[in-house]
Each structure stands twice: as structure tokens, then as C-alpha cells.
Amino acid sequence: MLVLCKSASGKDLPGNARVIGENNETQFNPLKIGVEYKVYGVMFYPTRTDMLLCPDGSNPLWVPSNLFEVLDNALPNNWGCVLTEKKDGYSNLYEDFGITAIFSYLQLVRSYQHYIGILEREPDELQKFYEYKLSY
């Protein structure tokens, strides 16, 4: 999957697509307008969809799809899905944030520790992400 960044600002998010305190002043750095990004995961909230991207020279991050144009909607053959409400660990995402499902590479949808490790920038889990990124 490939997307084109159209905005990096919270002001371009509809009110119902703002989560976790996002507002008009929110900046989704280090995204750059006009740059194409590969998508490494898709996460579903009740009111928006986020994508896992990894800008050059940066760590992976989840960003709202509202800020992008989809250039190629094909999903990799080796992706899987986790329904968060029904899976230990991931159910925290459902209960705390309303996240209902994640589609991504298998390590991310099978290991909650890996999911959290990416967010918390744990070196071992980031290394696993970067190994996947190189193979994608």
C-alpha cells in the first residue's frame, strides 16, 4: 500500500476524526507534504483509520489516513488481522481507545508486546520492525 501526504496538520482533520487530544495545532511530524509513504499497518477507530508509516530518518508512527491520498491500495500477501476486542493484550486498545482492528504484518498482529514495543521505542522491537521494512 502506498499513500501521498496531503497535510501534516491537525487543522485538516474533521472534528470526529480527532482522538487523544488532537486539535488544530497538532502537527504530525516528521511527515512532509507531497511525499509518498509505504504503509506498514492499518488500524481502525470508530471514527477514523490510522496507518503505520515510517518516514525516512524517523521511527514508525501511526497517523490519520485523513491526511493522505491512497496511490496504491494493494495489501501485502503476508499481512494478517487482529480483532482487538477478542485478543489478550490488544483488548486494552479496544477498551481504552475504541480501536477495533489492526491489519498489518504478522509480527504486529500476533504480538501485543511487539505493538507496544514499537510505540515505546524498545530497541529489540524496533529492530524487528526495520527487518520487516527491509523485506517489504
Of 63, 41, 23, give the one whose Cα is nearest residue 107: 41
DSSP for residue 24:
T
pTM for this model (two decimals): 0.94
* Closest listed residue to residue 4, CA positions, set 41, 40, 34, 27: 34
Task: Note the pLDDT tens digit of each residue in 80-117.
Answer: 999 999 899 999 999 999 999 999 999 999 999 999 99
pLDDT (tens digit, 9 = 90+) per residue, 60-78? 999 999 999 999 999 999 9
Query: Nearest Cα to 121, choosing from 60, 30, 56?
Result: 60
* pLDDT 10s digits, 6-47: 999 999 998 889 988 888 999 999 999 999 999 999 999 999
